[in-house]
Chains A and B, each alone.
Chain A
Amino acid sequence: AQSVSQHNHHVILSEAASLELGCNYSYGGTVNLFWYVQYPGQHLQLLLKYFSGDPLVKGIKGFEAEFIKSKFSFNLRKPSVQWSDTAEYFCAVAPAGGFKTIFGAGTRLFVKA
């Protein structure tokens, strides 16, 4: 069965620190990978996605993620976080060509000003 594992439930960083959130998935076939973000009081929204091609994907607000197929990983990174990045981040996986999306448990990021 598909599953998604996020390594950290809570992360606290100071502004300008670098961020890396781990995500590993379990699935036997080709997948599409996503990171969604939920800012306080807002809907979940897409941060970035990987379908094919360059395994290093760039998203909005300076975020990027790297797909490492051999490790079944899709870690999210940002070189320098801002206070406004405080949010909950969800890694998600869907089978290629399908929409049934499975989510990780989420990581709450708090950035201290």
Chain B
Amino acid sequence: GAVVSQHPSRVICKSGTSVKIECRSLDFQATTMFWYRQFPKQSLMLMATSNEGSKATYEQGVEKDKFLINHASLTLSTLTVTSAHPEDSSFYICSATVSGGEDTGELFFGEGSRLTVL
């Protein structure tokens, strides 16, 4: 299956700093990537849909200035948590769909990035 890689898998930062998380599709092109946030014992919450070459579409309640998403190429999307605060501590997961071919709707997931803001 298609492989999606996230980096870093864990990051600890001080309050007020910014953190960038990368999501790469390793063996396929992904025109669309998704960013999810998962709270302990809760579901994956869709934060935004990232489209290559255009602005991301954010879900209601997600601050676009706080969570900057850039999808500069067909294999890379980045999520930058700006001026991070302890309440931003969470598990962030990206996923991607395979471009072209049969529209299966299947998502391929990265391994997730655990952010801890002190």
Contacts and interface: CB of A to CB of B under 8 A. Distances in A.
Interface of A: 4, 9, 32, 34, 36, 42-46, 49, 51, 90, 94, 97-106
B34 interface: yes
8 contacts: A43-B4, A49-B106, A90-B44, A99-B32, A101-B34, A103-B43, A103-B44, A104-B43
Interface residues of B, number: 23
A92 B49 CA distance: 16
Given A43-B110, A100-B49, A49 B105 contact: yes
B26 to A, nearest CB: 12
Contacts of A36: 107, 109
A45 B1 contact: yes
Contacts of B107: 34, 36, 44, 46, 99, 101
A105 to B, nearest CB: 4
Given A90-B44, A105-B42, A105-B43, A45 B109 contact: yes
A67 B26 CA distance: 33
Contacts of B44: 90, 103
B1 to A, nearest CB: 7
A96 to B, nearest CB: 8
